[in-house]
């Protein structure tokens, strides 16, 4: 059986920077309030006047990753696209990427696992490569949150958190033992689905009903999050996923060179850092600049950490995420 390793990384974020102070123009909030609760100072939101969409941002990130991998778009055998905010209800973003990049008629798979989407997508790609089915797989995480947020005082608990952006990785076949993706670990607990949810639109609340009702007070079309409940479960599941991955590879927490957590909340990342007794140089966070970009957050952070020489060849990297579903997971890799 083959191994898979990341050979190319890229990311893209919109130019439009929205600071905490900017948010005060349309909601009751403050920079101090947001930073104290989330650690976020600013985020990127798509300017509606630009061409950017979830798929377009994914393509922009993918072009960088493919070029850095030393490949062309014709070398890619398969696409895995993770998002909760596709441009269309269906089809998904994967086929849009295939079209926009003018690729051959390769397969394209969409992953809808929200904050853990990139972890799930990497795991899927890893299995395809390990079994020998594909050689080079493009994995994308991309989100356009700003188009669906309730930008008002009523929606501020959610809307201040999320940002737009995309990241991409090229996974490739390798026969080098002990390098690349060592293991992936995935979990879910659906009984908590409504603690972090966007209920509509859905096939249970379809277009005729929406048009007939048209209730401006119907908040089911905006994201809802039980923040304290999510935080409590996140810190537990993050820890479990990391420990599970280490134990599966006979590793200890002291072996971690770099932890890249999902950028959900800086307080969660700091809690995990203290629990595993990791230094500031062993954990990479960029939520301060970009907010929570959901399926894009881990890959954007991984790419930025790589660009800034935060890890080197041979280092042990741990990627971990937790989010809506609830779903969570980890990736253990040797760079």
User: Any idea where the domains of the chain sit in the sequence?
Assistant: 3-174, 180-334
Nearest alpha carbon to residue 255 among 183, 315, 320, 182: 315
Structural element, H or E, at residue 285: none
Residues 257/262/268/270 CA torsion (nearest 10 deg): 30
The per-residue pLDDT string of the chain (335 residues; one tens digit each, 9 = 90 and over) reads 799 999 999 999 999 999 999 999 999 999 999 999 999 999 999 999 999 999 999 999 999 999 999 999 999 999 999 999 999 988 999 999 999 999 999 999 999 999 999 999 999 999 999 999 999 999 999 999 999 888 999 989 899 999 999 999 999 999 888 899 999 999 999 999 888 887 766 656 556 666 677 777 777 767 788 888 988 998 899 999 999 999 999 999 999 999 999 999 999 999 999 999 999 999 999 999 999 999 999 999 999 999 999 999 999 999 999 998 899 999 999 99
Q: What CA–CA distance (Å, rounded) separates 44 from 216?
A: 27
Kindly report the three-state secondary structure assignment for every residue of 113-170. CHHHHHHHHHHHHHHHHHCCCCCEEEEEEEECCHHHCCCCCCCHHHHCCECCEEEEEE
Residue 25 pLDDT: 93
CA end-to-end span of the chain:
19
Residue 177 pLDDT: 86
Domains 3-174 and 180-334 share a fold: yes
Residue 225 pLDDT: 82
Reported residue count of the chain is 335
Residues annotated as part of the active site: 115, 262, 292
Residue 133, Cβ neighbours under 10 Å: how many? 13
pTM over cut 0.85: yes
* 180-334 carries CATH number 2.40.110.10: no
Handedness of CA 5, 167, 113, 274 (dihedral sign): positive
Residue 163 pLDDT: 97
Nearest alpha carbon to residue 140 among 72, 62, 44: 62
CATH architecture assignment, domain 3-174: 3-Layer(aba) Sandwich (3.40)
């Amino acid at each position: 059986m083959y191994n898979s390793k990341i050979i190319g990384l890229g990311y893209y974020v919109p130019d439009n920077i929205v600071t905490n102070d900017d948010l005060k123009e349309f909601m009751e909030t403050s920079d101090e309030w947001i930073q104290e609760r989330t650690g976020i100072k600013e985020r990127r939101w798509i300017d509606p006047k630009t061409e950017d969409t979830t798929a377009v941002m994914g393509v922009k990130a993918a072009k960088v990753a493919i070029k850095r991998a030393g490949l062309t778009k014709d070398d890619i055998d398969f696409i895995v696209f993770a998002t909760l905010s596709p441009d269309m209800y269906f089809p998904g973003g994967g086929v849009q990427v295939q079209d926009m990049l003018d690729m051959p008629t390769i397969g394209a798979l969409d992953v809808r696992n929200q904050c853990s989407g990139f972890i799930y997508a990497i795991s899927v790609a890893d299995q395809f490569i390990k079994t020998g089915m594909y050689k080079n797989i493009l994995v994308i995480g991309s989100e356009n949150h700003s188009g669906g947020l309730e930008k008002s005082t009523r929606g501020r608990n959610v809307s201040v958190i999320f940002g737009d952006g995309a990241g991409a990785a090229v996974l490739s076949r390798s026969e080098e033992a002990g390098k690349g993706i060592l293991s992936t670990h995935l979990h879910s607990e659906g009984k908590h689905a409504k603690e972090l949810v966007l209920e509509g639109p859905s096939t249970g609340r379809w277009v005729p009903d929406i048009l007939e009702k048209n209730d401006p007070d119907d908040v089911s079309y905006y994201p809802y999050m039980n923040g304290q409940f999510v935080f409590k479960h996140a810190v537990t599941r993050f820890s479990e996923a990391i420990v599970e991955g280490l134990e599966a590879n006979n590793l200890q927490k002291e072996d971690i060179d770099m932890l890249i957590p999902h950028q959900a909340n800086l307080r969660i990342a700091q809690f995990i850092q203290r629990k595993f007794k990791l230094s500031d140089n062993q954990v990479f966070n960029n939520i301060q600049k970009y907010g929570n970009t959901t399926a894009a957050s881990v890959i954007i952070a991984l790419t930025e950490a790589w660009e800034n020489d935060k890890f080197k060849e041979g280092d042990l990297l741990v990627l971990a995420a937790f989010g809506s579903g609830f779903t969570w997971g980890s990736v253990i890799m040797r760079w």
